[in-house]
Amino acid sequence: MSTDRALEQAALPESAAPAPAPTSAPLPRRVPDGVVTALACLGQFMVVLDVSIVNVALPSIRDALGFSTADLPWVVNAYTLTFAGFMLLGGRAADLYGRKRVFVAGVTLFTAASVLGGAAPSAGVLVAARAVQGLGAAILAPCTLTILTTTFPEGARRARAIAAWTMVGAVGGAAGAILGGLLTDYLGWRWILLVNLPVGVAVVAGSLLWLADLPGLGGRSLDVPGAVTVSAGLTAVAYGIVQAGKDGWSPVGSWLPIVVGVLLLALFVVVEQRLAAVPLLPLRLLRSALRSGANVVMFLLGAGFFGLLYFVSLYLQNVRGYSPVEAGLVFVPHAVATVVGARTAARLLAAGRRPPVLISTGLLISAAGFVWQAALRTDTLVALGVIGPGVLVFLGIGAALPPVAVTATAGVRPQDAGVASGLANAARQVGGSFGLVVLTSLAAAHTRSQTGGSGPHPSGAALTSGYDLAFLASAAILVGCVLITVLLPWPPRPKPAASEG
Per the domain annotation, does 74 fall within a domain?
Answer: yes
Shared domain check, 341 and 430: yes
Return d(Cα 50, Cα 197) in angstroms, integer. 13
Asked if residue 192 lies in contact with residue 57, where contact means CB atoms within 8 angstroms, the answer is yes
Q: Note the pLDDT of residue 423.
A: 82
Q: Is 236 part of a structural domain of the chain?
A: yes
Distance CA(245)–CA(239), nearest Å, equals: 10
pLDDT of 358 > 90? The answer is yes
Which pLDDT tens digit goes with each residue over 155-212?
778 878 887 887 787 677 778 888 899 999 999 999 999 999 999 999 999 999 888 8
Say whether pLDDT at 115 is over 90: yes
Which of 8 and 466 is assigned the larger pLDDT?
466
Confirm whether 26 is domain-assigned.
no
Residue that is last in its domain, among 277, 303, 322: 277
Do 266 and 333 lie in a common domain? no
265, 233 Cβ separation under 8 angstroms: yes
Alpha helices in 374-416 (DSSP H): 382, 388-409
pLDDT given for residue 22 in this prediction: 42
- Kindly state whether residues 357 and 472 are assigned to the same domain: yes
More confident: 500 or 199 = 199
Helix axes 417-451, 74-97, angle to 10 degrees: 170
Inter-CA distances, 4 with 72, 167, 248, 349, Å: 48, 20, 55, 11
DSSP code of residue 283? G
The number of domains in the chain is 2
Q: Are 199 and 46 in contact (CB under 8 A)?
A: yes
Kindly report the average pLDDT of the chain as a whole number: 83
Question: Would you say residue 15 lies in a domain?
Answer: no
Query: Do 371 and 257 lie in a common domain?
Result: no
Domain that holds residue 267: 223-277
- pLDDT at residue number 454: 54
Q: Per-residue pLDDT for 399 more than 60? A: yes
* Band of pLDDT at residue 15, cut at 50, 70 and 90: very low
Does 336 or 71 have the greater pLDDT score? Answer: 336
329, 187: one domain: yes
360 within some domain: yes
Does residue 5 belong to any structural domain of this protein? no
288 and 370 inside one domain: yes
**How confident is the model at residue 86, as a pLDDT?**
83
Of the spans 78-87, 110-119, 257-266, which averages the highest pLDDT? 110-119
> Alpha carbon 464 to chain centroid distance?
26
Q: Are residues 210 and 229 in the same domain?
A: no
pLDDT tens digits for range 295-326: 999 999 999 988 898 899 899 998 999 998 88
258 and 407 housed in the same domain: no
**41 and 168 in contact (C-beta within 8 Å)?**
yes
Least confident interval from 99-113, 200-214, 383-397: 200-214
pLDDT attached to residue 216: 67
Say whether both 166 and 57 belong to one domain. yes
Greater pLDDT, 333 or 405 = 333
Please check whether residues 136 and 146 belong to one and the same domain: yes
Count of alpha carbons within 13 angstroms of residue 392, beta-carbon side: 19
* Domain presence at residue 9: no
CATH label of the domain that carries residue 205:
1.20.1250.20
Q: Does 407 reside within a domain?
A: yes
Residues 106, 243, single domain; the answer is no
